[in-house]
């Protein structure tokens, strides 16, 4: 029964995945994705993104916890779920001797209720490539072919594992537009990505995985809200960190010094930047490489990785 599909198309509860050697790659994660939402899974290398997505795609059975996609167990009830989902794996792996058109036709033959092949190719900007062999495509074009094949069945739920890896800036933007358009027409999208600006600009909600657990989740604004902003600059020769005004008085909550480069963390960006610039102006000091950044997903991501590493080097 599709009891919850109008609320949560994907439901993950205390999900665990332990590999053969006993390594626990996914350590009890829970999240849900509503219909028509774009949800991004972020994380450092080896955080467990692919291990999680494979469970959602029904490619493996969880070691613990529960997954529901469109109200079904994607592994045990694969026949009910698979025709309604589109999957773009990290590695497509098509026969490279086939042409783009042949590959698309072959895939369409395996996909019930397929959208016209030409339409799928046009959606990803490969309309003119039907006669080209897969082995002759560029890396970015292969990625777009992967996406076209995932779209063939007009899926209600789309799983995209690093969809824009290998794409140039324009290709990435085109893919974002397409994913947004699919979302706007009601498709639910779960994607993994290493590009933080991709998640920040595209995702309605996201989760940052770290060592198999969810370290932060929410809308991009929620995830960045309580993270500090950053000011970095180079101290000129003859000046030392101790010459700066008292950092606590500037509203600085942490700092790092590496060689001549100083990095300040603050939740009061205007106060800290003003205090620093007033000091520099009075002292006649040029702060080379001055860089002032509001809290961003990148900062959130980096501070999660730093906070949870036992040898974090940040000084308060």
Ligand X SMILES: Nc1ncnc2c1ncn2[C@@H]1O[C@H](COP(=O)(O)OP(=O)(O)OP(=O)(O)O)[C@@H](O)[C@H]1O
Residues that bind ligand X (CB under 6 A): 19-21, 23, 25, 43, 45-51
Select 98 or 305, whichever has its Cβ closest to ligand X. Answer: 305
Least gap, CB of 149 to ligand X (angstroms): 20
129/172 with CB nearer ligand X: 172
Select 23 or 240, whichever has its Cβ closest to ligand X. 23
DSSP assigned state of 89: -
* Beta bridge partners of residue 239, listed in sequence order: none
Residue 49 or residue 227: which is nearer to ligand X going by CB?
A: 49
Minimum gap (Å) between residue 59 Cβ and ligand X: 12
CB of 107 to ligand X, least distance (A): 24
Q: Which of 59, 58, 61 is nearest to 17 (CA)?
A: 61
Q: Minimum distance from CB of 75 to ligand X (Å)?
A: 16
Q: Which is nearer to ligand X, 51 or 266 (CB)?
A: 51
Give the nearest distance from C-beta 140 to ligand X in angstroms: 18
Please say which residue, 84 or 142, places its beta carbon nearer to ligand X. 142
Q: From edge to edge, which strands make up the β-sheet containing 8-18?
A: 24-34, 8-18, 64-69
With tokens 């997505």, the residue in question is 53
Tokens of 209: 């995985």
39-74 burial: b if 16+ Cβ within 10 Å, else e: bbbbbbeebbbbbbbbbbbbeeebeebebbbbbbbb
CB of 162 to ligand X, least distance (A): 7
The residue ranges of DSSP E strands in the chain, in sequence order, are 8-18, 24-34, 38-43, 64-69, 85-88, 157-161, 188-192, 205-210, 213-218, 229-234, 252-258, 261-266, 288-293
């Amino acid at each position: 029964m599709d009891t919850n599909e109008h609320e949560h198309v994907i439901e993950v509860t205390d999900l665990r995945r332990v590999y053969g050697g006993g390594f626990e790659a996914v350590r009890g994660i829970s999240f849900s994705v509503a219909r028509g939402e774009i949800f991004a899974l972020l994380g450092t290398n080896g955080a467990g993104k692919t291990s999680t997505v494979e469970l959602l795609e029904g490619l493996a059975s969880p070691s613990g916890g529960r997954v529901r996609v469109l109200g079904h167990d994607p592994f045990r009830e694969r026949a009910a779920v698979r025709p309604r989902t589109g999957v773009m794996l990290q590695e497509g792996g098509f026969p490279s001797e086939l042409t783009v058109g042949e590959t698309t036709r072959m895939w369409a033959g395996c996909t019930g209720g397929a959208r016209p092949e030409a339409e799928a190719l046009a959606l990803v900007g490969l309309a003119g490539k039907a006669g080209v062999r897969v082995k002759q495509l560029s890396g970015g074009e292969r990625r777009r072919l992967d996406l076209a094949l995932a779209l063939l069945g007009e899926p209600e739920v789309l799983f995209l594992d690093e969809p824009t890896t290998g794409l140039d800036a324009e290709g990435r933007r085109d893919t974002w537009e397409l994913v947004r358009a699919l979302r706007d027409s009601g498709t639910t999208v779960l994607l993994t990505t290493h590009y933080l600006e991709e998640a920040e600009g595209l995702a309605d909600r996201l989760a940052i995985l770290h060592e198999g657990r969810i370290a932060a989740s929410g809308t991009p604004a929620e995830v960045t809200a309580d993270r500090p902003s950053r000011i970095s600059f180079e101290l000129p020769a003859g000046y030392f960190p101790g010459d700066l005004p008292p950092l606590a008085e500037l509203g600085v909550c942490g700092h790092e010094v590496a060689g001549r480069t100083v990095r300040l963390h603050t939740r009061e960006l205007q106060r800290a930047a003003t205090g620093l610039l007033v000091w520099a102006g009075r002292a006649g000091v040029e702060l080379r490489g001055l860089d002032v950044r509001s809290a961003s997903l990148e900062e959130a991501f980096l501070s999660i990785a730093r906070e949870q590493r036992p040898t974090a080097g940040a000084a308060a």
